[in-house]
Structure 1
Amino acid sequence: MSSLRVIKPGPLSLLQDAGRFGWQHLGVSPTGPMDPLAAAWANRLLGNPRQCAVLEIALGGVELEAEAALWVAITGADMPLSVDGESRLNWSRFRLEAGQRLQVGYARHGQRAYLALAGGIRAEPVLGSVACQMREGLGGLNGQGHRLVEGDLLAGGSGNFPRGASVPWPWQPDYSVAQVLRVVIGGDAASFDEDQARAFFERPWQLSSQSDRMGARLEGEPLVPPQRQWSQGVVSGAIQVPPDGQPIILMADRQTMGGYPILGWVHSLDLGRLAQCPANQMLRFTVMSLDDSQDELRAFYSFFGR
């Protein structure tokens, strides 16, 4: 078994796998990576199943030391990478020799990078998943929902590759460009006044600094939501409009029930691009059909596996 010792954990580095499912009826969040596409590519570069655990590195500032020779892959945000001071490419896999140190600098574009080990990062599952949910105290390396700390050990399996490899550049997202996110209209959309539903797509929105893994909060000219007197189950990507008219988009660590009116859902694969946006970035939204959304998800699962 190969492993990496944590020298510097960074501001918020969390163990994540594909998510914790089958427990939402008890109020347990599914969690999982904020950018599922980047996490899936990290695993694919090493021949891992998509469900294998990866390290989600928020903002950067991480340093890891190899305790034995091993292969790693890193994707996601544009963070400077180096091994003992020698630069490495992002969206690629490469080998570390015993004693070498991998330095991950602070993000230039994007917010989250994903580090995978051959065979996946090993930890004991809690409710069927190692995904770290700090609010509920579940998952992570110790099973209690803790972020990475200095001295932690990331253990992986064995892997051997003839050479390094990178994701072809046309498939690498550009996190530096303005983001237009696609939305499937539904939920309580018919209960909104027509001009209010249309205004969501016509107005620019600013991503609030209060956003987190639970929800992306938008700031702009308020909408006027309809009243609703009951709660219902919610899913990731749901666009809730609370009484103050400032929409909230539910993310990976979302709650499982909500009472605010829902205008629609951000396309599942666009949630990753939203998760890579810095605070105060301007966002716009556009309508997409349910059929197109399902076609893209089928292609994603066909390529990366369920």
Structure 2
Amino acid sequence: MSGLRVLRGGPLSLLQDAGRFGWQHLGVSPSGPLDVQAAAWANRLLGNRWGAPLLEIALGDFELEALVDTWLAVCGADMPIKVDDEVRPNWSRFALRVGERLRLGFARSGQRTYLAVAGGFRVATTLGSVATQMREGLGGLAGRGGALRAGDLLPCLPARLPGAASVPGAFVVDYRAEPCLRVMADPNGLAAGERQRFFERRWTLSPQSDRMGARLLGEPLSPTPQQWSQGVVGGSIQVPPDGQPIVLMADRQTMGGYPLLGWLHPLDMARLAQCPAHSPLRFRPVELLQVQDELRQFYRFFRG
């Protein structure tokens, strides 16, 4: 099978899909895209099934060449997009023909963009998923958790679509705006006063953040010591002894022993994933019922 040839892999470009589920009891994290909304839009523009394999490209500086006639969609961080010397819009789909080169420049706002191909990339799964988990050595092109490099071939089938299309402007995120992220507080976690201080304070995203966790910097909280470890999910906000909260992301561990402040709204994890280091962050409480309603709407729209 032919496909797309990687000419430049950029700082960190990974194959992802909806994630690797059913293995957390063995300590395997789900992985998957950090910005599930941008990834979902990229696949939807092409008529792909939910969670079809695509690329997560961090920071940009990425280039590939088409060995087949196909269609691509790019959604996410604001990166200059060119096919040969012609500019293409972000949050849109467009044709890529044999011999043409797609180039993504460095991100001007946001951190990650998602590149999907019509029909999805045809890559063998590892534990039921192609999602790349570098720490655990799972997924990706060879099944060993590697980032994309120059010379890699991304298999895909030839495809034709009726024409260009783009995401409605109301759904295109402005990554330059300061986010206010929503949190479901854990009433059994920190003391009520400490939870209130978390919401009142302005935090900064640490440069030590990665796909495993987003670390916050600010005036420390005072966590209550916890006596046992428990299962954790994406968006869990742990408070270690230094009082600087950590938001667990897609490549998180599956067990944790630090006290929990609460859980970030799953859809707001996408916005957090697009924040550069040193970004100011604010948080506000949200009710569980509102989160459930918004998630139902999201999945009905993208999964049908």
Structure 2 unaligned runs (5+)?
A: none
Aligned CA distance change for structure 1 residues 191 and 109 (closer, same or farther; 3 Å): closer
- Partner of residue 84, structure 1: 84
TM norm structure 2 = 0.98
The 8 Å contact of residues 178 and 282 in structure 1, kept in 2 or not, is answered as yes
Equivalent positions of 1:264-303 (< 5 A) are: 264-303=262-301
Is 1:237–2:231 an aligned residue pair?
Answer: no
TM-score, with length taken from structure 1: 0.98
Contact 2:35 2:271 in 1 (8 A): yes
2:135·2:145 contact (CA, 8 Å) conserved in 1? yes
CA distance in 2: counterparts of 1:101 and 1:190, whole angstroms: 54
Which residue is equivalent to 1:19?
19
In structure 2, what residue type is equivalent to 1:246?
A: Q
Deviation at 1:69, TM superposition (A): 1.2
* Partner of residue 245, structure 2: 247
1:2 and 1:69 in contact (8 A); partners too: no
Amino acid at match of 2:210: D
Q: Distance in 1 between matches of 2:49 and 2:203?
A: 36
Distance in structure 2 (CA, Å) of the matches to 1:266 and 1:192 = 15
Which runs of at least 4 in structure 1 moved beyond 3 Å after TM superposition? none
Which whole-Å CA distance do the structure 1 matches of 2:227 and 2:286 have between them? 29
Cα distance in 2 for residues equivalent to 1:226 and 1:256: 21
- The C-alpha deviation readout for 1:176-232, integer Å capped at 9, x for no partner, is 10010001112xx43423221100000000000000000000000000000111000
Counterpart contact for 2:69–2:159, Cα < 8 Å: no
Aligned residues of 1:2 and 1:70 also touching (Cα < 8 A):
no
Confirm or deny that 1:304 pairs with 2:275.
no
Contact 2:231/2:255, CA 8 A, preserved across alignment: yes
1:9 to 1:198, Cα distance in 2 relative to 1, 3 A: same
CA–CA distance in 2 between the matches of 1:299 and 1:135? 33
Q: Which residue of 2 aligns with 1:73?
A: 73
Q: How much does 1:2 deviate?
A: 5.4
1:12–1:148 Cα contact (<8 Å) kept: yes
Between the two proteins, the alignment pairs up a number of residues equal to: 304
Aligned residue number for residue 256 of structure 2: 258
Amino acid at match of 2:169: W
* Matching residue of 1:141: 141
SS of 1:55's partner is strand
Q: Give a deviation string over 1:243-267, Cα, whole Å, max 9, x none.
A: 0000000000000000000011000
Q: Which amino acid aligns with 1:182?
A: R
User: What letter corresponds to residue 7 of structure 2 in structure 1?
Assistant: I
Deviation sequence 1:127-182 (CA, Å, 0-9, x none): 00000000000000110000001100111234321211100111111111001000
Percent of aligned pairs sharing the same letter: 63
Q: 1:215 aligns with which of 207, 210, 213?
A: 213
Q: 1:42: which partner in 2? A: 42
Cα RMSD, aligned residues only: 1.0
Distance, in Å, in 2 between the alignment partners of 1:272 and 1:95 is 27
SS at match of 1:210: coil
Matching of residues 172-251 of structure 1 within 5 Å: 172-186=172-186, 189-251=187-249
Query: Which runs of 5 or more residues in structure 1 are unaligned?
Result: none
